[in-house]
Amino acid sequence: MKIGILGGTLDPVHNGHIEIATAAMAALGLDRVALMPSGDPPHKNRATGKWDRLRMVELAAEEHPGLYASDREIRREGTTYTVDTLSALVVERPEVKWTYILGADALNKLDTWKEFPRIARLCSFAAVSRPGCDEDLARLRARAISSCYQTRVDLLPVSGPPLSSTAVRKRVAEGLPVDDCVPTAVADYIRQKGLYLCKYSEEQIMEHLKGMLTYHRFTHTLGVANTAQRLAPNCGVDPLRARLAGLLHDCAKSMPLDEMREMVVKNLPDLDAEELETRAILHAPAGMVMARDVFGVRDPSILSAIRKHTVGDGEMSPMDALIYVSDFIEPGREPFPGLEKARKLAEKDIYRAMVLCTQLTARHLKSQGKHAHPRSQALLDNYDK
């Protein structure tokens, strides 16, 4: 039996991986190809939990006969090395001839892998061209490795499509569709789990926020995130994107005022003098910058909602309105006149609730001899009709 191995972080597995695996199976007469996500590779930081990466591989393999998901490296504790994987496979299945499938560009560093001479005795190799790969150089490297280590290195007559896991993650983060980049079941899983929305998992975000915010502010943040996630389906908003916006809406709240000013002046040209002087307002644009630059958020709808959650604006998207209202009505708010009405309205019409929240804020400011921010007034002028 001949089995190929297509390894790597597979974060996520995409249509390019599938094309390469199926092409290798056809070109080399392989019986099967194992899609094998790495556990803790020595040369990469994982962007996603290993069990999520494995599940996506399982979903992708289900759609293609001959492909199967291998959890061998996922289940191994500690750093993952190819030599250990192959050694175990050869002992367990001595009847199988193993072929390791890789990009042709990886041939340049192939013999630097840990205990490569031993690897070369355990398997053969199949190299697939990638966009920008120097094929003449790849052929030279293939011949040199084959000759020096007495192993077989096939250059496959196929080219991997111009896709990368990095590009897929970037598209998800920016709120763009990936249905044409990954198998349908994988695209659905990414959406359902909220993967790749930023560079941290929710658990990691929570740890960051606990260290950045007071206990009271952190509790409020959870209330906003939970409220936004619950109301999101009524607003036509992705619940997990809404949750992320809620989690990060106050991420800059505890920053010193001078640091907030410096951050926003460098990054946001549309600030006004009132925003720069008022902490209660300034933390919103500062939070948008921090969400982008520290947490790696790239979705414009999330960044906009964080930016607008304090004073609003003349143009409010459903996500903008959702976070603005959720900040106002979250369960931990101390009772005040109009709050319960706003909560009831939010269940039916997020924009009517948004207008009421703005009116209530304007009245409160007026009672203190202050005025609503011009952007709040623009919100009322546009939506209080």
What is the per-residue pLDDT for 190?
96
What is the per-residue pLDDT for 39?
81
Per the document, the length of the chain is 385
Alpha carbon of residue 334 to chain centroid: 35
Three-state SS at 272 = coil
| CATH architecture of the domain covering 202-383 | Orthogonal Bundle (1.10)
Q: Give the helix/strand (H/E) hosting 7.
A: strand 2-8
| Cα→Cα distances 75→10, 71, 166, Å | 15, 6, 24
Task: Kindly give the interhelix angle for 279-293 and 239-248, rounded to the nearest 10 degrees.
Answer: 120
Listed by start position, the domains of the chain span: 2-193, 202-383
In order, the DSSP letters of 312-370 are: --SS--HHHHHHHHHHHH-TTSPP-TTHHHHHHHHHH-HHHHHHHHHHHHHHHHHHTT-
Other CB atoms within 10 Å distance of the CB of residue 173 = 18
| Beta-carbon-side half-sphere exposure of residue 109 (alpha carbons within 13 Å) | 7
Three-state SS at 82 = helix
DSSP state of 254: T
User: What does the buried/exposed string (b/e) look like for 124-156 if buried means 16 or more CB atoms within 10 Å of the residue's CB?
Assistant: bbbbbbbeebeeeebeebbeebbeebebebbbb
AA identity, residue 319: M
What is the per-residue pLDDT for 162?
81
In order, the DSSP letters of 165-215 are: HHHHHHHHHTT---TTTS-HHHHHHHHHHTTTSSSS-HHHHHHHHHHHS-H
Domain 2-193 bears CATH identifier 3.40.50.620: yes
Asked whether this chain's domains 2-193 and 202-383 adopt the same fold, the reply is: no
Alpha carbon of residue 281 to chain centroid: 28
**Paired residues of 34 in beta bridges:** 5, 68
**Paired residues of 382 in beta bridges:** none
**125 contacts: CB under 8 Å, gap ≥ 6:** 99, 100, 101, 102, 110, 145, 151, 152, 153, 154
10-residue averages of pLDDT along the chain (385 residues): 95 94 94 91 62 96 95 88 95 97 90 96 91 82 94 84 90 95 96 94 93 95 98 97 98 93 91 86 96 96 97 97 98 95 98 98 93 95 89
CA-nearest of 181, 116, 184, 182 to 153 is: 116
What is the per-residue pLDDT for 46?
52
CA-nearest of 161, 195, 199, 197 to 181 is: 161
Burial of 266 (C-beta count, 10 Å sphere; 0-12/13-18/19+)? exposed
Beta sheet of 32-37, edge-to-edge order: 67-69, 32-37, 2-8, 97-103, 124-129, 153-159
What is the rounded distance in angstroms from the CA atom of residue 277 to the CA atom of residue 261? Answer: 8
Q: Where are the alpha helices (DSSP H) in the chain?
A: 15-28, 50-62, 72-75, 82-92, 116-122, 135-149, 165-173, 184-193, 202-212, 215-235, 239-248, 257-267, 273-277, 279-293, 300-308, 318-329, 339-348, 350-367, 374-383
AA identity, residue 184: T
Alpha carbon of residue 31 to chain centroid: 34
CA-nearest of 372, 354, 373 to 363 is: 372
